[in-house]
Amino acid sequence: MRLLILLFLLLPVCSPATDSPIGLAGLIKEALSVAPEIKPGQVVILSSESALLPYLRSWGYSRAVASQTLQEVRSLAEFTIDHHFPIFVNASSVHVQRIVRSWTHGAFPGQAARVMASDLYHEYLHAQYAAGECAALEGQLNLLTRWRDQGILTIAEPYIATKQSALLKECQ
Ligand SMILES: [Zn+2]
């Protein structure tokens, strides 16, 4: 019995990455509804890391540089290339899958969407204003803490703390 329960709990974690874009598309749609600066066409879901390759090739990246770039972004949840649109969302990343689970199975799906919105907003600042990492972190934190202070984001305290310590560490 215990094993069965464990298996049940583990299923969403183990489901293949290709299953997640369905939930992820809905999550991003809701995230964009609370981050109206970002246009839907500016966000691209990558169902696998190789899905980035056609973009890199179309931007003139050599095969070698493109495959090195694939390696570099493999662990990233959301990212931009050279601070340009689109914002890529890596469906198979641990962080994105965690937010998707919170969105599909959690008690506060709308709040999960706000966490995703803050991530997308961070990338938007890179792409729209060529913001450096510190400015993007600061903008994301302002959004997160504003929603927290308004009482509409109660589940993100650990995430806010992580971002605050990243800001302190990297942006003195
Ligand atoms: Zn960044």
Please answer whether residues 87 and 127 qualify as being in contact, where contact means their C-beta atoms are separated by less than 8 angstroms: yes
Q: Is 7 part of any domain?
A: no
In this model, does residue 72 exceed pLDDT 90?
Answer: yes
Q: Is 8 part of any domain?
A: no
For the chain, what is the domain count? 1
- pLDDT, averaged across the chain: 89
Distance 45 CA to ligand 1 centre (A): 17
For the chain, give the number of residues: 172
Q: Is 120 part of any domain?
A: yes
Query: Could you tell me the strand order of the sheet in which 84-90 lies?
Result: 43-46, 84-90, 78-81
Q: Is 38 part of any domain?
A: yes
**For residue 78, what are the β-bridge partners?**
89
Distance 77 CA to ligand 1 centre (A): 11
Distance 8 CA to ligand 1 centre (A): 35
What is the pLDDT at residue 26? 95
Read off the pLDDT of residues 118-165 as tens digits, 9 standing for 90 and up: 999 999 999 999 999 999 999 999 999 999 999 999 999 999 999 999
What angle do the packed helices 109-129 and 20-33 form, to 10 degrees?
70
Q: Is 49 part of any domain?
A: yes
Distance 11 CA to ligand 1 centre (A): 31
Distance 108 CA to ligand 1 centre (A): 26
In this model, does residue 19 exceed pLDDT 70?
Answer: no
Q: Is 27 part of any domain?
A: yes
Distance 126 CA to ligand 1 centre (A): 7
Residue 93, number of CB atoms within 10 A of its CB: 21
Closest by CA position to 119, among listed 74, 150, 145, 89: 89
- Looking up tokens 């202070």 gives 149
Print the domain residue range for 144.
15-170
The residue among 13 and 125 whose pLDDT is bigger is: 125
pTM: 0.86
Distance 132 CA to ligand 1 centre (A): 7
Distance 117 CA to ligand 1 centre (A): 14
Instruction: Give the residue-averaged pLDDT of 66-83.
Output: 95
Distance 158 CA to ligand 1 centre (A): 18
To the nearest whole percent, how much of the chain has pLDDT over 70? 88
Q: Is 20 part of any domain?
A: yes
Distance 76 CA to ligand 1 centre (A): 10
